Every structure is written in structure tokens, then in C-alpha cells.
Chain A
Amino acid sequence: MKLKLQVWRQKNKNAKGSLKLYNVEADEHMSFLEMLDVLNEQLISDKSDPIAFDHDCREGICGSCSLVIDGRPHGPQQGTTTCQLHMRHYKDGDTITIEPYRAKAFPIVKDLVTQRTAYDKIIQAGGYVSVNTGQAVDGNAIPIEGGIAAKAFDAATCIGCGACAAACPNGSAMLFTSAKIAHLSLLPQGQIEHKSRVRKMVAQMDKEGFGMCSNVGACEVDCPKEISTDNIARLNREYLSASLGAED
């Protein structure tokens, strides 16, 4: 199939970017990233600068791939990362617009690559347990109620890709932060520090310059792991009770 791509090109962080038009011949079995690989081969053989984009595992688990495809982070297919989006969802003659994530806390490094260290910093602020977990123990050694385990697991599937802040009209990181909070606080290992954790992580999130959640819900629509805004309510609840209940 022949496609027209409008791709955001930007030399570096401070340069002014713009959309450039490219033609590419793709195959319906290709993934979206493979289609971009083909275009890049073409650009390299034409001695022009290939398009920079992030990717790593290419199997939907690492959270490296990003891209906003026709206005939607990770493209039009529900619950799918860009690397798992396949060209069979497009038809011959389609025009596709590809832009980088847009959120102030995710500055553009080059073309479609954004710096997403702000999410790492939120994790560093408290998204872990500091108890010594020792050797891997039997999965059933600590009894956890089925429903709770499932909720914690759902939250834990967040791959930290940043699509939530990219989809949010406020550039808010609430879905990501709430997934990390819920994942840990629902489980006994995470309970111990849950009050100080939520306060530290929210403070870091605010410091990184993410916007405030106004409950638009665009994040959960575009999240490739379909993390629910249920978690955001849990985060609000935990933050308010931890802040009001703490002695400092």
C-alpha cells in the first residue's frame, strides 16, 4: 500500500519543528514501527536525516515507543502500543499524521523523541518498597484476596509509556502516578509506606510541571494498558487522607 505520512521534524530541543510530507510503500503485515524503518532506510539512501523515534522491545511491554498518530497517543487501536499497531488497519492512499507526545514535562529531544525522565523521577520519589524482600517466595505465601490481587495486577500493567500525559489536555501525569500508587498500596508489601509514598510521589509529580487532572478521561481512552481512572480516585482518596491524617 502507498501511504502519505506527515511527520513532525524538529532538529533539537530548541529548534522550531514542523510537519514534513513523505511517501512510503508499506505492507499490511508490517508493524507501524517497521513501516517507519522502511521510510528511514529510504531517507538514509537518499542521504537525508532519518526520523528519530523511540522504541525498544517492540512487543508492547517496555513503554519506549510513543508517537501520536492522527491525534492519538499509540494510534487508533484501543489497548495497543504503537509497536503493536499493524499496517493492516490502514488502507492504500491513507494520509497519516505522526507527532511527538506533547506535554511541557516531556520536552522534545529530536523529531518524535521526547524526554520522559519526569516519570522516572516520580517513581524515584517513592514508587518502590524499601523492605528487604529476600529470596523470591512462593506466590501464594502471602494470602491476598482475589479481587484485590486483580486490581493491583491491573494497575501494575502500566508500562510507564507516558501516553496518559500526552493524551491529557492538561498534560497531567495522574493516571501513571495513580497506577503506581494503586499497584503498591493494594498489596501488603506496599501498605507499610503507603502514606508517605503518596505524598512524596504527588509532590514530585507537581514539581515536574505536569498539569492538574480535570477528569476529562482522555488518558484512559488512549492508555495502551487500559489503566482505569478508578486509580485516580484512589490516588485522590489516599493523598487527601494521608495529608489530613499525617502529623506533619
Chain B
Amino acid sequence: MRWIINLLTSSIGLKLVMSLTGLFLCTFLLAHLAGNLQLLYNDGGEAFNLYAKFMTGNPLIKFISYGLYTLILLHAVQGLVLASINKKSKGSKYAVSAKGNGSWASKNMALLGTLILFFLLIHMGDFWWAMKRNNLEYVTYDGVEVKNLYKKVQISFKEWYIVLAYMVGLFALALHLLHGFSSAFQTLGLRHKKYTPIIKGIGYIFSILIPIAFAIIPIAIFFSQN
């Protein structure tokens, strides 16, 4: 067992955890996006509500979702701890700071991560908590009673400030991914003359397209009601 502790407390081991949890969260983003795009169906929310019921009712998915919460927390808490250790390792700052060596995002991953975490709290407080607390209205599809999360989403995204908070959160996510995606591969030691440009390319597309696709949802719902 000692070897696991040695590995996971070494500088490279600590980053290995950041890399693997980060990549896992990227796959979650894809799954979450696929589910949420159902909000844009023109069916009064039936597909989305049935999907929400399935996601909260299925025991296997419940199990996976608790794993997911753990990994989000691990990624966030460990990321903040590592950033503060790194800040101490630097010690003091230069009076003049140079421009052009390293992207802004790469130097501000902890700040971006904190913004994303705040956004996540707002997001989960609004929808996940509402779903848990059981104070949603019900709709009936084919005789089955289902919580109307769709309606809750419609109400939330009617307000411009909520939509704005989502835009800020997603913008931070895009910047975080722009550095994080390819950085995760570098940490794993996966760098190759032929494949790294492909990984970087996929990383850029992923970092821009996924947040844009998420952003379309609140914007579309806002304009459909205002």
C-alpha cells in the first residue's frame, strides 16, 4: 500500500490525479450536454422530464452520479491545494512581469476553476436541489406522474441575470478547458510528434464547441420567453 501513497503524494502523482479526474469530467460534460439539449425539443418538455426522471431514479446512474460528485470535489479541492502549494514554492513575485511566456489561462487555472465551482453551486442549487427537495410541480405523461423540471428551467432562464451567470461560468469553463484538455495528456506523458497536434486540435474544438453548445440552451430559452 505504501507505494500508492508514495506515488500519489509525489508531485507527478498529484498531477496524475488532476489529469485523470479532469479527463473524466470532460466525458461527463459530453453526456450532460447530450441530455440537456433535449430542453430545446419542441415537445413541451416531455422528453427532458422523462430523461430527468430516469437520471434521478435509476440506481446505477445514482451510483455513478455520487462517483461524479466525489471526483468533482477531488478535482476542485486538490486543484486549489496544489495551486496554493505552487504559490508558496514561487515565494515572491517579480517587480516586472514578462509577457508572452505561457497563456493567461494556464497561469490562472485555479481562478478559473473557482469561478466554475461557484457556477456549479448556483447551477446545482437551482436545479439539482429543486429536484431533490420535491417542491416541483408534476405533469402526467401516459398516466405516469413526472416532476416538471422543464418548467423550473423555463422559469429560471427567464431572468437575464441567471442567463448572464451561466455565460460567465461557461466562459470560464472554455478557458479552463483550453489549457486543461491538452495539459492532461502532457501530464500523463502522452506526447508525440504525430499525435499531439491532433490532441491539441481536438482540445481546442472541444473547449470552444462544448461551452457554446451549453450556452445556446439558456439563451434560446430566454429569447423564447422575452
Contact = CB atoms under 8 A, between A and B. Distances in A.
A218 B179 CA distance: 14
B189 A102 contact: no
Given A72-B98, A170-B86, A217-B101, A240 B16 contact: yes
Contact of A214 (B100, B101, B106): B106
A240 B100 contact: no
Contacts of A8: 95
Interface string B80-122: 0010011111111111111111110011010000000000000
Contacts of A240: 12, 16, 188-189
Nearest to A72: B98
B102 to A, nearest CB: 4
B107 A216 contact: yes
A119 B93 CA distance: 21
Interface stretch (B2-10, B164-172, B218-226): B2-10
Given A167-B101, A217-B101, A232-B186, A205 B11 contact: yes
A36 interface: no
Interface string B155-167: 0000000000000
B38 interface: no
A111 interface: no
B96 A97 contact: yes
Contacts of A221: 100-102
A215 B12 contact: no
Contacts of B7: 243-244
The residue among A8, A169, A235, A239 with the most chain B CB atoms within 10 A of its own CB is A169
Instruction: Give the interface size bracket for A toward B.
Output: 35 or more
B11 A212 contact: yes
Contacts of A214: 15, 82, 86, 106, 109, 183
B32 interface: no
Chain A at the B interface: SS class = mixed
A88 interface: no
B34 interface: no
B14 A212 contact: yes
Interface in A198-248: 202-203, 205-206, 209-218, 221-222, 229-230, 232-241, 243-244, 246, 248
Interface in B169-226: 179, 183, 186-191
Contacts of A102: 90-94
A81 B190 CA distance: 31
A105 B92 CA distance: 11
Nearest to A97: B96
Nearest to B16: A240
A232 B89 CA distance: 19
A85 interface: no
A15 to B, nearest CB: 13
Contacts of B109: 214
A152 interface: no
Contacts of B103: 216-217
**What are the 9 closest A-B residue pairs judged by CB atoms, nearest first?**
A237-B189, A211-B89, A71-B98, A233-B191, A170-B86, A216-B102, A236-B189, A218-B101, A104-B91
Given A103-B91, A202-B12, A71 B97 contact: yes
